[in-house]
Every structure is written in C-alpha cells, then in structure tokens.
Amino acid sequence: MPAPGILLVDKPLGPTSHDLVSRVRRLAGTRRVGHAGTLDPAATGLLLLGVEGATRLLTYLVGLDKTYEATIRLGWGTTTDDAEGVPTSAPAEVGEEVLARLPEEVARLTGELDQVPSSVSAVHVDGRRAHELVRAGERVELPARRVTVQRFDVVAVRGAEVDVVVDCSSGTYIRALARDLGGALGVGGHLTALRRTRVGPFEVGEAGPLEPPLRLLDPAAVAARLFPVLELEAAAATALRQGKRPEVEQEDAAVAAAVDPDGALVGLARVERGRAAVLMNLPQVAS
C-alpha cells in the first residue's frame, strides 16, 4: 500500500482531470486517488490530488481561494463562454472607446458579486450537471451565486485580447467573468485561455512530474499550511484516534492539525475549552 499524501500536478492542455486521476492511480498502484476540484480539458495549471488516506483532506482543500491567469477575447460571446462554443452574435468592433472603459468595468467585477455560472458548467440541476443538459439540447437557466473576486487585474491588452490575473473564491467561474466583462462593454466576450496558478497556499511551481516516484506531500505538512498545529502527547493522540476528547494545552480553534509525537498527522480536530474533538481522522499506516 502506498503512503498517503497530497500530490500537486501541473495539468497540461488536453487531458481531463479524470485522465490525470487515472494516471496517478496506475503510478501509485491504488484506486484511492481523488481530486480537490477539476479543470476543463482546455485549461492548464494546478490540480490537488489525494492518495490513499490523504483523500480525506480533500474536503478541506476544495473550498480554498484560487488564482488564475486568463485571456479574454472581446468582440463576441459564445454559447459556452469560451472558445469551444458557437458565437452568439456577429463580431463587434473593439475600438479605443471600448478599451478606455476597460478599467471601470473590471473594477465593477471586483469584490462580492452575484455571478450566474456558465451554462456549460458542473453545476447540478435536478441531479444532472448543467453541461450535460446543454449538450442534450435542453435550455438551462442557472441562479446567481455569491462569489468574491479579490483581484481582477489587466496585465496586457493585445488588440481585442485582454490578459488578466484573477484571485477569487472557490466556485467563481472565470468564463462567466469573461462573458460579463464583454457584456458590460457592449461588445461581448469569451475566454480563450485559462491557467490556475494557485490553490490556497499551494503554488503551481511546487508541482512535481507525473512519473515514479511520485512527489507526495506529507499530510501533516499539508494540514500545517492550512490550520494551526496541535501537538499531542502519545496518550492524547491515541485517545483522539479512538474518538475520545483528550485534554490539550491549546487555544480554541475551529480546525487544528493534530499531530502525534512522531510528527504524523492524527487528523483534524476542533479545540474548545481545553479539549480536542476529532473532525477527521487519518487512517494509520502500518510500519
């Protein structure tokens, strides 16, 4: 059985996220591989994969903020809000007067937004994903959802193509930002390139090659980058693994990374009034 860990992958253009999960399953020799959020085949960048017991950490990674580098093509929208869709209108001229309004409209799309996801998305509608319904010819109208765009910076303008960097909350659709920016400018817009460069504290530059031996991050090191560390004595670590609530010398924390005297991750725990209560235990690996 392989050791548990989190794998940082720099997804290339073309394969699906599931393709990479399947590849890691073969390389790691286990079916227990999962992901913390997918990327479209036309997107590149950082994927977080969990192997063996570390898949239990993925729930706490899915909701992390993210950073994207993207290119928006102004001039027309598409049915999918990206380059794979069919144009929804004739091309519009993107002149100097349109580009002069770019900073103002980008600013309007920064902060807390009620964003309508792209219809070709993974959002569930009546038990099915929206993109499945759209491709089956059904009309899909998705409700707006609250998202936060902390940063929406224009880094280059090349004619009608706009290169941007976006820091945003989980669940934000960059394709929808491209659509809404083009709509606000009155010329339409769609996404032509997307790369995820950060998930929470993890950067794409940390990703390792998809070849043996896989460069897995230790679960304790991953958890320590997300939460305060709760160092347990041996008896307290055993008690927490058994679902008990041991006494600890630690400030209250909604989530803490509980580690045993050897530095191994016991699991995640809530600390309240001098006692720890388990939220998620990591399976012990036989030595």
Say which residue the tokens 């910076």 belong to: 153
CA distance linking residue 175 with residue 120, whole number of Å: 10
SS3 of residue 52 by DSSP: helix
CA distance linking residue 43 with residue 25, whole number of Å: 22
The DSSP string of 208-262 is: --SSSSP-PBPHHHHHHTTS-EEE--HHHHHHHHTT---B-----EEEEEEE-TT
Geometric angle at alpha carbon 121, from 78 and 189, rounded to 5°: 25
Which residue numbers are catalytic?
40
Contact yes or no for 87/76 (Cβ under 8 A): yes
SS3 of residue 175 by DSSP: helix
SS3 of residue 183 by DSSP: helix
Question: What residues pair up with 35 in beta bridges, in sequence order?
Answer: 49
SS3 of residue 126 by DSSP: coil
Q: In sequence order, what E strands does the chain have? A: 5-11, 33-35, 44-51, 66-74, 111-115, 124-125, 128-129, 145-158, 161-168, 189-199, 202-203, 229-231, 253-259, 265-272, 275-281
CA distance linking residue 8 with residue 227, whole number of Å: 19
CA neighbor of 224 nearest in space, from 196, 255, 245, 248: 255
